Amino acid sequence: MATGIEQLKQQAAERAVDFIQSGMVVGLGTGSTAVFAVRRIGALLAEGRLQRIVGIPTSNATAREAQRAGIPLGSLDDHPVVDVTVDGADEIDPQLNLIKGLGGALLREKIVAVASRRLVIVADDGKRVEQLGVRGPVPVEVVGFAVRPAAMYLASLGARVVERHKDGRPFVTDEGNRILDCHFAGLPNPQEIAQLIRAQPGVVEHGLFLGMATEAVVAGERGMVVLER
């Protein structure tokens, strides 16, 4: 089963790379699906089928992967407008609203997404949901000083809050923050909950990406579809 899912992710990622043209500034997403896109871009550069690409990585891990793939990297200081970003998602609803951040890079991912003319999401069809928040948590990035009060506040919004750990210790993002995974029983009004989450001091960002994706390339056992907002 795992091998089949990985193949679907790879198919979707490689199809999404078709949106990239030579000379573009490209946002490079984070996670197990986005890494296939990074590798595909590197292969096309090596073959000469893509040229003059500048990659904007959304995490330190993606930067390392891009360097291994031979993708020249830049920053938003030098390239504040990104032509297209290819990234994964943890949940995708029918309006192409997303939950992202299970890979721990939601802050940089959202910064790059907002700077992008197009945000192309790649996923297997298991990520499609009718309503956000029915399967997995909404990650919320908070400063370390605010973990406890932020957790209490998020619980007051109806979430079951679990601080993320890795190797027995609190998970720390590339920006030095912590992540609270907020389990809701579905989000019928994600815009409202997004505003409420941001209202708490100490909250840096949340994993609700609403109205940002322009396309989603979704691969399943019955084939591949490109969804557009």
- Provide the residue type at 154 as one letter: L
Distance from C-alpha of 134 to C-alpha of 129, rounded to nearest angstrom: 8
Given the residues 91, 109, 205, 215, the one annotated as active site: 109
Distance from C-alpha of 184 to C-alpha of 107, rounded to nearest angstrom: 20
Both ends of the chain: CA-CA distance in Å? 30
Strand pairing class (165-166; 169-170)? antiparallel
Distance from C-alpha of 129 to C-alpha of 139, rounded to nearest angstrom: 17
CB proximity list for 26: less than 8 A, separation 6 or greater: 20, 41, 53, 54, 55, 56, 82, 83, 84, 85, 86
| CA triple 30-3-34, angle to 5 deg | 15
Strand pairing class (98-99; 91-92)? antiparallel
**109 assigned to active site:** yes
Distance from C-alpha of 52 to C-alpha of 80, rounded to nearest angstrom: 17
Angle between helices 34-47 and 2-16 (to 10 degrees): 50
Residue numbers annotated as active site: 109
